Amino acid sequence: GEQVEQLPSILRVQEGSSASINCSYEDSASNYFPWYKQEPGENPKLIIDIRSNMERKQIQELIVLLDKKAKRFSLHITDTQPGDSAMYFCAASERQGGSAKLIFGEGTKLTVSS
């Protein structure tokens, strides 16, 4: 089955700088790659996603890049703020029966210091 590797596991940046998280996957059939943000004690919330027919997607300060050939995708947060501090999870989809299964990476703990 699909496996997703996520790095780094811990990321500390200064407010106003950029933060980058990288993920790789194994199954070339995966075609959907979401990113979730999880604050302490809260549920994961979808922040941005990209499908395999795109290479780049941006929502405000969030940029996702997808390299299908290399089976890698990444999240870039520009102009980070303390409110961006959280756990971030990448995921890749794997078909299962009539639904899809998201395989999550191990997570990145991002800390933005002011």
Partner 1 sequence: AQTIHQWPVAEIKAVGSPLSLGCTIKGKSSPNLYWYWQATGGTLQQLFYSITVGQVESVVQLNLSASRPKDDQFILSTEKLLLSHSGFYLCAWSPLGTSAETLYFGSGTRLTVL
Binding site for partner 1 (CB under 8 A): 32, 34, 41-46, 49, 89, 91, 93, 96-102, 104-107
Find the shortest distance in angstroms from Cβ 10 to partner 1.
11
Whichever of 78 and 104 has its CB closer to partner 1, that residue is 104
Whichever of 77 and 92 has its CB closer to partner 1, that residue is 92
Residue labelled with tokens 């933005």: 112
Beta strands in the chain (DSSP E): 4-7, 10-14, 19-25, 32-38, 45-51, 56-59, 62-67, 72-77, 86-96, 99-104, 108-113
Whichever of 65 and 103 has its CB closer to partner 1, that residue is 103
